Every structure is written in structure tokens, then in C-alpha cells.
A and B are shown apart, each in its own frame.
Chain A
Amino acid sequence: NAGVTQTPKFQVLKTGQSMTLQCAQDMNHNSMYWYRQDPGMGLRLIYYSASEGTTDKGEVPNGYNVSRLNKREFSLRLESAAPSQTSVYFCASRTGRLIYMNTEAFFGQGTRLTVV
């Protein structure tokens, strides 16, 4: 049981380049999340998807787009990377639906992105 899998684990981009971070979960969870974590700071929510076919902005959505491709996969895209997007990105999933959210979240191991 792999849980939440993120790819790639490490990436270096040049300013202005684009890339997509992939996330997949095999737990049949409804909700999926993307967070970023900067040194010495907590997790900040970028985007989330309550269920297949829906996405919503989190605390820091600017500069990012997401796609909930199907129930398993939730990708995060940087269209034009900036040095300020250098961070560690975490994907998470949980079972909750809109009417029942009292379940734990499972996290991937992170993608370390450096934009130069």
C-alpha cells in the first residue's frame, strides 16, 4: 500500500520554466491537498480538491494551477516558475466528503523544488 505518492522528489527549474508536480493516492480518498513549506514555517495550503471534479483556492494560490484528473490524481502546475516558489511541496489526501470531514489526512514525502 503506497499511500500518497509524489513525483518528482527533487527538481531544479530556471526562472520562467514551467512544470507539473504529480500526486497520486491509492486509498480511494475524496479530498486532496497541495501545501508548500518554507524554511522555519508551517504548512501553507495552496489548493485543495474536496472531491473529483472540484478544486478550490487555499491560502497562497497565486502562481499555481491545479487539476484533479480523477479520484486518484491531483496535480500542481507552475506555469512560469519564480524564485519565490522555491519550497518543499507536500500533497495530502483524506476520505472526507462535504458532510463528513472528521478523518485524518495522509501526506506524501514531499517535492523539493528550487527555482534559480
Chain B
Amino acid sequence: DAKTTQPPSMDCAEGRAANLPCNHSTISGNEYVYWYRQIHSQGPQYIIHGLKNNETNEMASLIITEDRKSSTLILPHATLRDTAVYYCIVRVAHLSSRLTFGEGTQLTVNP
């Protein structure tokens, strides 16, 4: 699985959009980009994933660059409850079941 790089921490004002970047410059053509988050002391929670096209669901939007070497998770209207560690994961959609996490980004939403 390709390695990802995320900033260790970010701040965002409540009600504003939070844009969390992820670099995955060694991504392969058959690897998906996944985002999870972990709210303090709880189990991680799936947010969204994508391959090439931008994706949107009720929680967030995922923007993947055309060369697929980086992506951005967007929380359109961040709330205090979005304060969490956000993990970007790149993995192949088949072969191994292995699922590994990096350090993630601590997002703090401020009032």
C-alpha cells in the first residue's frame, strides 16, 4: 500500500469549511483513497473513499487531483463535534486484507 503524508495538526473555525490535505505521491493506478476519523478515545469511523473522481456524501467531499498524487477531504461546515484525528489511507482494492493507518491529522474546530 502506498505511503501517505498528512500535516500533524490543523485548526478550523466553527461553521467554516475544513480542508484536510493528504499526499500520496506513490499511489498506484489500482489504489483507492480512504478517509477515516477518530473522535477522542472512540473507535475510528469511516468517512469516504474514492479512486479517481471526486466523491461526496452526507459527511464530506473528497477531491482527488488529476494525477492522483494528492487529495483533500472537505468538511463543508465544520462543527465542534468534528474535532478528531483524520486518517488518510491508500490501499489496493483487492489482494491483501491488510489495512494500515498512519499518524493522521488532528483537526481542532474552534468556537
Contact = CB atoms under 8 A, between A and B. Distances in A.
A42 B102 CA distance: 6
B29 to A, nearest CB: 14
Interface in B25-63: 32, 34, 36, 38, 41-46, 49
A1 interface: no
Contacts, number: 80
B74 interface: no
A88 interface: yes
Most buried by B among A30, A41, A105, A110: A105
Interface residues of B, number: 27
B43 A101 contact: no
Contacts of B44: 43, 90, 92, 105, 107
Interface stretch (B65-73, B76-84, B88-96): B88-96
A51 B97 CA distance: 9
A68 to B, nearest CB: 12
Given A42-B104, A98-B94, A104 B46 contact: yes
A61 interface: no
Nearest to A104: B46
Given A42-B102, A102-B49, A105-B46, A50 B97 contact: yes
Contacts of B42: 109-110
Interface of B: 32, 34, 36, 38, 41-46, 49, 85, 87, 91-104
Given A42-B102, A108-B43, 4 more contacts: A45-B98, A56-B97, A94-B99, A100-B94
